[in-house]
Chain A
Amino acid sequence: MQAELGIIRLDLLFEIISGIIALMVTYYATKAYRLTGQKRLSDLSTGFLVLSAGMFGRVIGTWYFLAREPSDVVFGIVTVAYGVSRIMAYIIFVISTRPIHREPQEYDNAGISMLLMATFLVDPALEVIAIFFLVIVVLQAILNYMTTRSKFAWYVLVGFVLLLVSHIMMAQVGVAPGLYLLSQGAQLLGFLSLLVMLYQAGRDI
């Protein structure tokens, strides 16, 4: 039991660090949006904000769960809210990082809202849905890297690939529980890659 609690605490620490990095990306994207007026940066900022909100929500919810009598209801709500927030964030990433050579399309707000709402309906397969959207995000990041060959695009690609790996591991936790912490570690490494990108991009020329 002690070992399990230790793993959960370590997991929460990883989650807090990842959440802080997600907030830093949010701040940077908002700043870039204000300077340039590029709508996609605002969408990117929203995506990372949703992601960090989900992470901090999970940390707070898990603490609540640990500090009080274990409640399946609270735990269920936290798990579903966390999974749904991540899927919403990944859908926003798919939209905001879509390849630039395509014809610009007007957002179909109703369509997107329905898509976001639909995530609430599929509760048992949240990880699989997250993997599906992250695969698209990763493919877009690959295309972007192949086009620009920039080291900044490389860090983002590595970050998203590690996030994808973390979700694939998480989906396997049922058969191999040991993957749980590895999954959280992969997620943390993914966010650290984004942090390196922020640091490098913010350096003076």
Chain B
Amino acid sequence: MMRAIQSEGEEGAGPTKILYSANLSHDRLTQYLDELVEKELIKEMDPESNNRSYLLTEKGREFLREFVRMERFSEAFGIEI
């Protein structure tokens, strides 16, 4: 989900885009989006608007960078995460 949001850059990613990229049901998507917002990893671009879009926060970008590092490390030993 965070990768899908990141791939949209400063434009922000809408729920439909995230839903298809992450291959999630609508219920799960809503649940995970709320969780990510609560953890301040993503933020809603304009909460007042009808068209919801999400952006990574600085904390989210750092988390994703760290996750990629750990992914490379695990891959080096043949461990799937």
Contact = CB atoms under 8 A, between A and B. Distances in A.
A56 interface: no
B77 A96 contact: yes
A198 B69 CA distance: 9
Nearest to B68: A205
Contacts of B52: none
B20 interface: no
Interface in A11-63: 28-29, 31-32, 35-36, 38, 40-41, 44
B76 A100 contact: no
Contact of A156 (B66, B68, B69, B76): B76
B59 interface: no
Interface in A57-112: 96-97, 99-100
B78 A144 contact: yes
Interface size class of B (residues with CB under 8 A): 10 to 19
Interface of B: 65-70, 72-81
Given A44-B77, A153-B77, 8 more contacts: A35-B67, A41-B74, A41-B81, A148-B75, A152-B76, A153-B76, A156-B76, A197-B76
27 contacts: A28-B73, A29-B73, A32-B74, A32-B81, A35-B67, A35-B70, A36-B74, A38-B79, A41-B79, A96-B79, A97-B78, A100-B78, A100-B79, A141-B78, A143-B78, A144-B78, A148-B75, A150-B76, A152-B72, A152-B75, A153-B77, A153-B78, A156-B77, A201-B69, A201-B72, A201-B76, A204-B65
